Amino acid sequence: MTAHTPRMDNIDMAGKVCVVTGAASGMGRIAARELAVMGATLILCDREVEEGAQARDDIIALSGNAKVDFVPCDMGDLDHVRRFAGHILSTYNRVDVLINNAGLTDPEYKLTPQGQEQHFAIMHLGHYLLIHLLKERLMESAPARIIQISSDAHKTGPGLDFDDLASKTVWKGRRYAHGAAFKAYHRAKLAMVLATYHLAEQFKDTGVTINAVSPGYFIATNIYRHMRGVMKLGTQIFRPFFMDPERSAQTYVFLASSPDVEGITGKYWEYCKEKDTSPLSHDPDLRKKLIAETHRLLGLPV
């Protein structure tokens, strides 16, 4: 792809059903707004219920498109994910785009109801399960697109520890640890890239594509809202210099709607250009082990 921002004017998404997780704020909300302006039917979810409902109302008001649905869902709670998928399947007869955007960085050590560390659960396990539950509808709706919001943070750590995917030893018994949170974030985003490469192979010749995205570095969203102490102060001081989330979200919209990427799958994108991922993400043994463990944790057939 060339370095210029691709034109997305006059793309008509009417009749397309687009699912966006983590859409109450930030780049998920921006992407949902832009797709609504294009005429798409939107299904949004977030665990922030009031903020999510407000996002829905604001998107409807701004776009003039009333086909925007908000469903409360914590992507880290697998029971919530199953209910969310059930709502989609029972209410909509197609799914054309799935944007797996929900994410966080939180220095507090928290386990989900299923006993998994929250970063890994929200960003990898929950989204992997959602893809699995919607895969038949996606294939029936083909050509369909899945977009995994990862991060270049997947390049910044030592990789996955299959003896400690719940990251208990990472926090070392502490309740709060920013370094541990960044390591957990790295693991989750690496898992998303590995899963993208695996699923691109699984969806081969079905008409369903899947690509991963790096939004860029230090984006001015509320992903930093859980920071504490000096880290919180640092984000407040430097926030005016962070990148514009509107620019970052354009890659989401580009991959969801542009005819330029029709049929392209198993790639990694930043600012609407392809780029490479880490050497670890290309390790076939690591990928195979992650998928096997993911299926075990989710109770899926291998």
**Can you give the three-state secondary structure of the chain, one letter per residue?**
CCCCCCCCCCCCCCCCEEEEECCCCHHHHHHHHHHHHCCCEEEEEECCHHHHHHHHHHHHHHHCCCCEEEEECCCCCHHHHHHHHHHHHHHCCCCCEEEECCCCCCCECCECCCCCEHHHHHHHHHHHHHHHHHHHHHHHCCCEEEEEECCHHHHCCCCCCCCCCCCHHHHCCCCECHHHHHHHHHHHHHHHHHHHHHHHHHCCCCCEEEEEECCCCCECCHHHCCCCHHHHHHHHHHHHHCECHHHHHHHHHHHHHCHHHCCCCCCEEECCEECCCCHHHHCHHHHHHHHHHHHHHHCCCC
* Total Cβ atoms within 10 A of residue 67: 15
Q: Choosing from 109, 128, 185, 271, which is the catalytic residue?
A: 185
Residue 62 makes CB contacts below 8 A (sequence gap 6+) with 33, 36, 37
* Total Cβ atoms within 10 A of residue 7: 10
Can 185 be counted among the known catalytic residues? yes
CA 291 from centroid of its chain's CA atoms: 17
Longest distance between any two alpha carbons in the chain, whole Å: 54
Catalytic positions: 185
